[in-house]
Amino acid sequence: MRATYPMVAEAIGWSHPTGRGLGDHLYEILHYCKDQDLPPLTTILVKKGTRYPPEDAMVYIRAALGDIDLEESQKEVFGFDWSAVFEEAEPRGLIDNAVETSGIWLTSFWGWSPADWGCLSFSQEWMRGKFIERTEPGVIVAIYVADSNRSPAHLRKRLVGFYEVTHESGHLFDFIGAPRRAEHESDPERRHKFHFSLKASRAWKVDLDPPPFVDDVLSGFVTQATGTLIGARGLPVIDPDHVANLLRLPIVEVPLFGNSTAGRNDRFELNQITKVSRAVHPPKEPYFIAEPNGPKHLYVMRLSCDPEEWLTSDWTAPAGAQIIKVGFSKSPVSRCRQIQAAYPAGRFRWEIVYPEPIPKPHPIPTQRPQSLGKMR
């Protein structure tokens, strides 16, 4: 089957529906096929209703391949097993061993608004499927803002934040706010695109003003050849220097659509959320954790799980039972984060239920018992 420019544009999530601007990428594909002694793939790209490439494309094809027989060249393309060439023609080395290296991926958005955009989206279902195959639930995806007239000018080409992405699949509209849905539906170029989504569970912004340019952090990674693929499907970050640069970035957790508990953490570096949980390596001798003396807040935390999942299997919890922790801390938020850091990501998540708002204006001067008053 011959392909048209709009078909290619839709398949890769290209910014222009007619494929305008694809020429440089097609030129690279043409010469790659020549260098690797592969059938000339670009010879099957035609205008609608025609059998052969347009004359402006033929100029480049003849310059690279000479006066070829187009009919025979197209037959070679159709008869070749392209699955043997980097699954879906991905650049060599960019996908291999992704999970075994950093586990961090890169993609681009047209802006940055996690509070009403809680997912990673793909224009084709198979793209989402490939991402799921190559990642683990909870994969960290770095986000930079695309260099597009759709993007805010002050954020273009800047690495703005990170998403923690699950493998929970759904339609785009399941994971974004009403204003973004209305915006998406009103745009004729986007209305039927990017519907195949994966829910994000957490989001962090890069806590620098302004955010760094993506090329300053990942030098040479985003190129004309990789930019479209990064935007459409994402690519893993493999280079050790690139990974190290990402891990040193200061970040702050921010509210995320669909996650009401997000956005409470202090400033820290990305490497603190990608480390193996301390609970995996038990201590070799007894230890305790103490805080400096001084005024503290009384706090109450609740573990968001079924108590029977946490306690012994032969114990039946009363109806409505909950697991609660009560304590004193200079910062209930920081204390909650410290405790949560010892739990692998999953359904066991601590949340603060008192005080609210967090923190109270004045800490308790001593640790003598205090009345909680009425709690919701």
Residues 169 and 294 placed together within one structural domain of the fold: no
Residues 39 and 152 placed together within one structural domain of the fold: no
| Domain presence at residue 299 | yes
Give the burial class of 79: count Cβ atoms within 10 A of its Cβ; 0-12 exposed, 13-18 middle, 19 or more buried.
exposed
pLDDT of residue 97: 37
Residues 239 and 167 placed together within one structural domain of the fold: yes
Pairwise CA distance, residues 251 & 16, whole Å: 33
Left if phi > 0, otherwise alpha if psi is -120 to 50, otherwise beta: which for 5? alpha
Residues 213 and 292 placed together within one structural domain of the fold: no
Residues 268 and 299 placed together within one structural domain of the fold: no
Residue 46's domain comprises: 3-89
Strands 235-236 and 45-46: unpaired
Residues 156 and 239 placed together within one structural domain of the fold: yes
Residues 257 and 295 placed together within one structural domain of the fold: no
Nearest to 34 by CA among 68, 4, 7: 68
Q: Greatest CA separation found in the chain?
A: 91
pLDDT in tens, the chain (376 residues): 788 888 887 777 666 777 777 887 788 788 878 877 778 889 999 888 898 998 888 888 888 888 889 888 888 888 876 655 544 444 433 333 333 344 799 999 989 999 999 999 988 888 888 899 888 888 999 999 998 888 899 999 999 999 999 999 999 989 998 888 888 888 776 777 778 999 999 999 999 989 999 999 999 898 876 777 788 888 899 888 899 999 999 999 899 988 755 545 567 778 776 654 444 444 445 544 455 555 677 889 888 777 766 666 566 777 778 888 898 877 777 778 778 776 766 667 888 888 876 655 555 655 555 555 554 4
Residues 309 and 191 placed together within one structural domain of the fold: no
Last residue of a domain, one of 34, 58, 89: 89
Strands (E), 110-263: 119-122, 139-145, 159-171, 196-206, 235-236, 250-253
pLDDT of residue 89: 42
Residues 144 and 242 placed together within one structural domain of the fold: yes
| Domain presence at residue 121 | yes
Residues 160 and 261 placed together within one structural domain of the fold: yes
| Domain presence at residue 94 | no
* Predicted structure pTM score: 0.54
| Domain presence at residue 149 | yes
What type of residue sits at position 149?
N
Residues 113 and 213 placed together within one structural domain of the fold: yes
| Domain presence at residue 278 | no
How far, in Å, are 11, 79, 80, 91, 94 from residue 83 at the CA level? 17, 12, 9, 13, 16
